[in-house]
Structure 1
Amino acid sequence: MIDIENLSKVFDARTLWRDVNFTAKSGEMLALVGPSGSGKSTLLNCLGLLEKPSGGKIHYKGSDITRFGRRDILRFRRDTLGYLFQQYALIENATVDENLEVVTRLQRSLRGTAATAIAEALDRVGLAGRGREKICHLSGGEQQRVALARLVVQQPDLVLADEPTGALDDANTSMVVDILHEMSRGGCAVVIATHDAGVRDRCDAVFAVDESALVTPSRRETVHSHGVSN
């Protein structure tokens, strides 16, 4: 799905990581792990073109997306990428339905079926019948479920999740991971930055950012490069 080749990130004189190499595959979940400050979120943001790497390439369908211009970046985010932010990234003074309608307006395939898609997504995350409630009246766990429903409606090819369970209880954590797992089995590539061992253990592969090592449990294969931990 998306290939990372010799990626590096430097802030002034500090190298956060370098020579990062791995592939996020369709149908798999990949965990980015490492201690606080190791650059998990920064790496995730580079994959989502929210930050620019200092060196290296990110290939998607044969194209180096790090060379995309503004228009191509916007198209990539609209048509390919789904992001599950730690802070939810919802419109707080809008309703649940209104937050999901933002996605349906961007997806041509949902025209004429938006209401059905939204209702099905809310039912899937345990929020059926709550579309008219405002985001600001929901708990943190409920807001994360709305953000998850947004992904379900969008059906992206690539999902990037930044500590999506960091502030959730066990029940909500399980729901988030279950749905991300279902999306990956449906053909989506899912990359999760996490410090949660339970989330890590449910992924198909684990990339240790501080060591720049990729471990794929099913193949017992480890690929090393040159990481810089801090």
Structure 2
Amino acid sequence: MIKIENLSKSFGRRTLWSGVNLDIERGQTLAFVGPSGSGKSTLLNCLGLLEAPSAGAIKYEGRDITRFGRRSTRGFRRDVLGYLFQNYALIENATVADNLRVAIKPGRGSSNRPRVAIDEALHRVGLAGRGKEKIHVLSGGEQQRVALARLMVKQPELILADEPTGALDHANTVMVVDILEEMSRAGCAVVIATHNDYVRDRCDSVFTVASATTSASPVR
């Protein structure tokens, strides 16, 4: 599905990582791990076309997405990607349900899997009956669960999750990982940048992002 070829990222004279080669398959959960500052989030952002690598290629089904123009980039994000950000990326003055509805715009075209109903998604994340509440009244953990429900509604081909359990207790961490795993088993590829040992151990494979001048390397 995704093939990363000899990818590198530099900021001025500093090389964050280089020589990254990695295949990401459908139905796989993959953890990016490494010390703070090693570039896990940056590598995730490159996959999501939020940042550009300094060299190398990221290929989706044979097409180098790093060479996409604005229109193709928008289409890729809309039709293929689903995000689970640290800052939740929700519309704070809108309701919970409205934040989920934006994920089911017509013409997505990339996924043939049935859409998950909004009510069902909210039930799955423990927020049943709260669709009319505004985002800004929710706790950080509740907002993260809304973001997860939005993914369930969208059903993307590739999920990029940046520390998705950082604001959650263990019970909700288990719930998040369970749902991401279910989406993976349904054919989605899931990539998670994490410091959480439990999340790491639940993933199918682990990729250690090394810092400074050392290349990233697979652990298993």
Would the aligned equivalents of 1:78 and 1:106 in 2 still touch at CA under 8 Å?
Answer: no
The percentage of aligned residue pairs carrying the same residue is 70
Given residue 58 of structure 1, which amino acid in structure 2 is its aligned partner? I
How far 1:184 sits from its partner (Å)? Answer: 0.5
What corresponds to 2:2 in structure 1?
2
Normalising to structure 2: TM-score of the pair?
Answer: 0.93
Deviations 1:114-147 (A, max 9, x none): 8x71111111111111100011111111111100
How far 1:32 sits from its partner (Å)? Answer: 0.2
CA RMSD of aligned residues (A): 1.6
Which residue, 215, 218, 223 being the options, matches 2:219?
215
Q: How does 1:126-205 map to 2 (within 5 A)?
A: 126-205=126-205
CA–CA separation in structure 2 for the residues paired with 1:137 and 1:205: 37
CA–CA separation in structure 2 for the residues paired with 1:90 and 1:208: 29
DSSP-derived class of the 1:174 partner: helix
Would the aligned equivalents of 1:107 and 1:154 in 2 still touch at CA under 8 Å?
Answer: no
CA–CA separation in structure 1 for the residues paired with 2:2 and 2:106: 23
Q: Tell me whether 1:76 sits opposite 2:80 in the alignment.
A: no
CA–CA separation in structure 2 for the residues paired with 1:106 and 1:39: 35
CA–CA separation in structure 2 for the residues paired with 1:65 and 1:175: 32
What runs of 5+ residues in structure 1 fail to find an aligned partner? 217-230
What corresponds to 2:56 in structure 1?
56
What corresponds to 2:46 in structure 1?
46
Given residue 204 of structure 1, which amino acid in structure 2 is its aligned partner? D
DSSP-derived class of the 2:19 partner: strand
Deviations 1:29-48 (A, max 9, x none): 00000000000000000000
Residues 107, 149 of structure 1: alpha-carbon distance in 2 compared, 3 angstrom cutoff: farther
CA–CA separation in structure 2 for the residues paired with 1:91 and 1:22: 34
What corresponds to 1:219 in structure 2?
none
What corresponds to 1:89 in structure 2?
89
DSSP-derived class of the 1:20 partner: strand
Deviations 1:121-177 (A, max 9, x none): 111111111100011111111111100000000000000000111121111111111
Instruction: Tell me the matched-pair count.
Output: 213
Given residue 98 of structure 1, which amino acid in structure 2 is its aligned partner? D
Given residue 187 of structure 1, which amino acid in structure 2 is its aligned partner? G
DSSP-derived class of the 1:31 partner: strand
Normalising to structure 1: TM-score of the pair?
Answer: 0.89
Would the aligned equivalents of 2:78 and 2:108 in 1 still touch at CA under 8 Å?
Answer: no
